[in-house]
Structure 1
């Protein structure tokens, strides 16, 4: 189902001028349709399998590791690291690296959040928008997954998620984790990072996946993933108001798009995708009946590749 493996034909580092160097790579056909892939996390990174979502003969694809993660430097850094820093990075990559007037923006999970934020800021630069596993970055969504909702579905995994946090600090688990993920004790930091990351790794697919659990348990990956993701959730300046992305969905009108959502997605429940569809009615909406959150579940993957193929000739 995926396209065959390919290697980048060009790669480098974007110096942001404020302490970060962002890794980027270009792959596919240099004369092809411009596209950018936005990874989830936000503290994870792009991988070779992500290149394979696009027909390499028809697309010129830019992938990059967001600030603080993957091959970007410094590792696990929280300084100058917000949604709007990342959308600014995207604009520089589009103009200075890709050299494209417009590009297709493709993002899943946290990448959907970033894709929507960028498209609402720079609608004139977006030829098409493909988003999967929609995360609206609202307090209600955070409470669902990190406080009181998803725990009803995964009581065994939830017990492990609670383990690093004393019972008297469990009223605000995101804040309690932030205290440990940014503290001075490296042992406590790593324990908290592993527990935070593994909670998502265990719940990401409809069927339990050892592959996803293993990737989230890796020490280096877990530290960046947990620290940066938690940082975005508690940082006061990432949005103007609660629900901003859905409130401003009218800014997407006129952009052709596709929304892909697993019906049984426990990480980013289908309600947000449904609300986005209602606010952006010209987008094609696929509610995949036999899928959770991960992009590589068969029903999700088929829809993603269908979307990139649909837009390849536009």
Structure 2
């Protein structure tokens, strides 16, 4: 073989060996997938002292969680009096959160925290706390809603935007994703317009709502509904619903909307037997605007992160 050719061949072979050995696969390990340990929940009820063992009535609680080997945390809350309740877990950035509990009176809540370690291994801890919540609504709001005794409302199909969808946030009070046209739901779901909602002031501190749905309730199905008797699956539409009467209270709006953009007051329904306008999983309806002849509400929608907007007028 020609010497120059042999030399070139040897050089190429050497380069190939270098490349081959340089491409050797790296070995990686995930390490031990151990669950976080020593998960501790710490709470501070705002205004708590010997004279006010459950706080100052604001319902505010500062919550933090720590655990060995934890990377992230999630948190949820339930009223311990509701034996069927299960917590909806939310992100807990940096292991701390400020929570406002709005149910009036001295209410005991169960805080559930899940700490996640490497590979998703988790540890769960719970803590029960009793929190006092007090709220005195503007008498004008009460008078406009109840007429001083009892008043019935319905969705106003005659105006555009009587139903809308937007992000549920503290910075937006606009149905920026979708807004209804006049009589938008007549063809598919006329029950939306024939349903009525009667608000009654029983005494200065006790209120009830009656949801009447002669043609059914407009809602989604399954766990997205929030009212009883709705099928486990199916499209959004009108579904038979027996109607019901339940208690409600006024609370400070919990979404943190700007004071100049809202009355900062919400209607809180006591249970799933009633709803306003659209069957939703959440029962806090923020009053964005109310007069004797008009009411504009927002409720956290059927899907997390959505807000439903509703415009109602009194039934003549």
TM norm structure 1: 0.30
TM norm structure 2: 0.30
Name which structure has the greater RCO, CA cutoff 8 Å, separation 6+. 1
Greater fraction helix: 1
Greater fraction strand: 2
